Structure 1
Amino acid sequence: MIRVGIVGAGGWADSSHLPALAALDAFEVTAVATTRQASAGRAAAAHGVRHAFADAGELAAHPDVDLVVVSVKASGHAAAIRAALAAGKHVVSEWPLGADTDEANELAEAATAAGVVHAVVLQGHHSPSARFTADLLAEGRIGSLESVALVADGAPWGGSRIPPNLVFGLDPAQGSNILPIMAGHFLAALERVAGPLTEVSARLPRTHDRVLVTGTGGTVANATPGHVLLHGLLANGATASVAVHGGNEPTRNGFHLKLVGSEGTLTATPTQLGTFIHWCDWDIKFGDEALAVPDTYRTAPAAVRSGPPANVAALYQEVARAITEGRQPHPSFETGLRHHRLLTAIEQSAADGTTREIS
């Protein structure tokens, strides 16, 4: 049994990590931590967890914790991860790994030195639809892949207004805006299907210098992009075109993915409009032929609903196998660092108009 402590037990963890872990026999949630003891106590009581903390370091150091899950804002990831590594505990961190690439590099090096198992939550890597589509390409269903196009909605980031709880992300130093959060996850899903990008040429237009905070009547300064636009090359030589459009809620279509090969074309759209590519099930077509994702691609227990909880559960299953086998899971902190380097290449290209290679 792998005993889990969750740093940031409200919000996202409550809707994805906790239900995923509750359905997996290999794990037991033994501790939670939030910024206040009272809220930590409430979260612990709600989920039948023994220990509640207002400090990530105390949670990580507790002998009833083997694995620390970091599910707080990106700017708080580093402190919680360092506490886990100092205590010699395995770590699962939400994406992005750090607030920027330098911090991600530091955390990846520290995790390697600590000798623990480390994983980052890029859900697209464990999406049944993404994995099935990747296998279709690998089997040559469309011949040689020649081009990839992805158009996706990036709201609620990038619009003329924003909810009060997301205002912090208008500061690029927080690591939480349309580029790392939305495009970051979308690109991870695309790369899971079509392979890694090796070079990019990008634009990051900022369409709103000030943004209305909904429900307040006030505006705040914005230093983050409203859209993410890029062209690039994949490792297999195919071209890639990606447009992530920011805007105001709600998202309308979600995404449209087109994979053009020498022998045909695959398309994918969300089965439920308005959902994100790394969250949802896909409607996949080869030409006009609908292709159903086989049940074998869903590894999470049937009790876990499709979408984020199922994808997160699949990640935890991979983490459990990695701990047993004495290896790193996929995606690991190293995977997360490589993905941070992709985002940095996009930023650099947008800043100076050059084409950038991804190391």
Structure 2
Amino acid sequence: MIGVGVIGASGWAAGSHLPALAGLPEYRIAAVATTRRESAEHVAARFGAPAAFADAAELIGHPGVDLVVVSVRAPLHAELIRAALAAGKHVLSEWPLTVGADEAGELARAASAAGVAHAVCLQGHHSPDVRFVADLVAEGRLGRLESAVLVASGGPLGGAAIAPELAWGTEPAGGNTVLTIMGGHFVTTLERLAGPLTELSARLPRLYDEVEVTGTGRTVPNRVPGQVLLHGTLDGGATASVTVHGSAAPPDGFLVKLAGSRAVLTATAPRPGTYLHWTDWDIRIDGKPVEVPDSYRTVPFHPKDGPVANIAALYRDLAAALAEGRDPHPDFHAAARHHRLLAAVERAAGHGGKEEIS
């Protein structure tokens, strides 16, 4: 079994990574770390971890930890990842890998040089619905792909108000924006379906110079976009159009439309309040429902239950990669390429022209 240590265990990881790991026989939760020992001990007791730390360095050095999971704010990722690599540990980082494309590239090169497995949590790659639709496209079920459209809510980021626990994300250095988080997950999921973008143009409207911090009666300056508008060309010649609209409310659904020379596939949310990289999809070809075969569901969770299922599928692929001696996917190099893509979006929005994606 692979011993896992989770840094940032009392936040997002408590409702996603830790339940996923607890449900997979390939893993054992060896240690958890938070900024306070009390909270770390609480999480350890909840998930049966034998060790709890208030110092991430102690977790990284723990002999029972083979894989370090970094699930803290993006600006803190790089330091923790480098420490884990120096200790010879495998690393799984939450998305975004870091807060800039240059540093993402440096981390990818460092991970390769360390000779360990490295992966990033872009769990849309492992969604059974996404993999099924990607196979339909690759097999020519739609004919030649001509266009790909994605419209989705980025809430609760990007709106006129923001929750107190998210208010730090109104500064670009936080790396927690509609572009970096929601746009990052959504665009990489679209590329998984339809192929990589080769060029793009973009707009990043910022509708609010200040936003209300919900329930506090105060406002904070806002220096990040609230909308992502992207048009581009995919490898193979199809066009792509992406709209991510910010909101103070939870997400209200999504639409994916893949138009081919023989058929049109649409995918929508079967229920409100979730994101396309978390949930199962209502898939239709030319208006007729299509079911995802059970063979695509490889973990003891269902995507209708939230993000745990697709994160578990990512962990299962990582375990298989370690057993087979191959690279997991998406790895740090895939993450670095995605950071470069988002940087191209920002440049295109700045100068109003096109950017090529290598």
TM range (shorter): over 0.9
Q: Alpha-carbon deviation of 1:306?
A: 4.2
Question: Matched residue of 2:52: which SS?
Answer: strand
Deviation sequence 1:154-179 (CA, Å, 0-9, x none): 11111010000001110101111000
The one-letter code of the counterpart of 2:178 is I
Using the alignment, how far apart are the partners of 1:273 and 1:213 within structure 2? 24
Question: Matched residue of 2:155: which SS?
Answer: strand
Q: Alpha-carbon deviation of 1:324?
A: 1.3
Q: Does 1:205 align with 2:205?
A: yes
Question: Matched residue of 1:80: which SS?
Answer: helix
1:63-78 aligned at under 5 Å gives the runs: 63-78=63-78
Using the alignment, how far apart are the partners of 1:353 and 1:303 within structure 2? 42
* Cα separation, partners in 2 of 1:72 and 1:91, compared to 1, 3 Å: same
| Residue aligning to 1:9 | 9
| Residue aligning to 1:248 | 248
| Residue aligning to 1:36 | 36
| Residue aligning to 1:178 | 178
Question: Matched residue of 2:341: which SS?
Answer: helix
| Residue aligning to 2:276 | 277
Question: Matched residue of 1:237: which SS?
Answer: coil
Using the alignment, how far apart are the partners of 1:242 and 1:281 within structure 2? 20
Q: Alpha-carbon deviation of 1:251?
A: 2.6
1:43-58 aligned at under 5 Å gives the runs: 43-58=43-58
Q: How many residues align?
A: 358
Using the alignment, how far apart are the partners of 1:238 and 1:170 within structure 2? 34
Instruction: Give 5+ residue unaligned stretches, structure 1.
Output: none
Using the alignment, how far apart are the partners of 1:91 and 1:347 within structure 2? 28
Question: Matched residue of 1:249: which SS?
Answer: coil
Query: Does structure 2 retain, via aligned residues, the 8 Å contact 1:126–1:315?
Result: yes
Query: Does structure 2 retain, via aligned residues, the 8 Å contact 1:159–1:247?
Result: yes
Q: Alpha-carbon deviation of 1:303?
A: 8.0
Question: Matched residue of 1:88: which SS?
Answer: coil
Using the alignment, how far apart are the partners of 1:313 and 1:304 within structure 2? 10
Query: Does structure 2 retain, via aligned residues, the 8 Å contact 1:178–1:226?
Result: yes
Using the alignment, how far apart are the partners of 1:322 and 1:264 within structure 2? 35
Q: Alpha-carbon deviation of 1:274?
A: 3.2
Query: Does structure 1 retain, via aligned residues, the 8 Å contact 2:146–2:239?
Result: yes
Deviation sequence 1:76-97 (CA, Å, 0-9, x none): 1112111111110000111000
Using the alignment, how far apart are the partners of 2:66 and 2:23 within structure 1? 18
Q: Alpha-carbon deviation of 1:230?
A: 0.7
Query: Does structure 2 retain, via aligned residues, the 8 Å contact 1:20–1:304?
Result: no
| Residue aligning to 1:132 | 132
Using the alignment, how far apart are the partners of 1:2 and 1:17 within structure 2? 14
Using the alignment, how far apart are the partners of 1:67 and 1:257 within structure 2? 35
Using the alignment, how far apart are the partners of 1:44 and 1:303 within structure 2? 25
1:81-230 aligned at under 5 Å gives the runs: 81-230=81-230
Q: Alpha-carbon deviation of 1:307?
A: 3.5
The one-letter code of the counterpart of 2:237 is G
Query: Does structure 2 retain, via aligned residues, the 8 Å contact 1:281–1:307?
Result: no
Question: Matched residue of 2:16: which SS?
Answer: helix
1:247-266 aligned at under 5 Å gives the runs: 247-252=247-252, 254-266=253-265
TM-score, normalising length from structure 2?
A: 0.98
TM-score, normalising length from structure 1?
A: 0.97
Q: Alpha-carbon deviation of 1:305?
A: 6.6
Query: Does structure 1 retain, via aligned residues, the 8 Å contact 2:251–2:275?
Result: no
| Residue aligning to 1:234 | 234
Using the alignment, how far apart are the partners of 1:153 and 1:226 within structure 2? 11
| Residue aligning to 2:325 | 326
* Greater alpha carbon shift after TM alignment, 343-352 vs 103-112: 103-112
Indicate the percent of aligned positions where both proteins have the same amino acid. 61
Q: Does 1:346 align with 2:348?
A: no
